[in-house]
Amino acid sequence: MRNQRGQSLVELAIVLPILLLLLLGIVEFGRVYSVQLMLDNASREGVRLGVVGASDEQIVAKVREIIMGVDDELYVVIITPAVKRSGDPLTVEIRYDHSFFVPLFSSLTGEGITLTARSTMRVE
């Protein structure tokens, strides 16, 4: 019995970093997934607004409204084509540079990852 006194503490010291890393990975995945869903929704709403005749400025304003709370310097909105004609496809693409909360994940992927959302509809 005497030789096994610190066994539980040693096991905890071995397993705890693995469990913490797993937990932080789950949290980071949840953050990335949440931002991706927000970008998908913003691009869909932006293109929906654009196909009914809104200007590029109105589309960008709608996208900014939906992804409010995100720094404007971290994403770019690309609207193609510049001239909208009835029957042509209109595409709204959003590129977002996501940085990880945990520095370990940033070192594995470089500085972060670029999330992209793209929606296309025909102009009415």
The pTM for the full model equals 0.83
CA–CA separation, 74 vs 67, rounded Å? 11
Which DSSP category does 53 fall into? T
* 60-118 pLDDT tens trace: 999 999 998 788 888 999 999 988 889 999 999 999 998 877 666 666 666 778 999 99
| pLDDT number for residue 25 | 86
| pLDDT number for residue 104 | 64
Is 46 in contact with 77 (CB distance < 8 Å)? yes
* 20-30 pLDDT tens trace: 989 988 988 99
The domain limits of the chain are 2-122
Helices (H), the chain: 7-50, 56-66, 103-109
94: enclosing H helix or E strand: strand 89-98
* 37-71 pLDDT tens trace: 999 999 999 999 999 989 999 999 999 999 987 88
- Cα 14–chain centre separation: 33
User: pLDDT band at residue 2, thresholds of 50, 70 and 90?
Assistant: low
Quick one: tokens of 88?
Answer: 């042509």
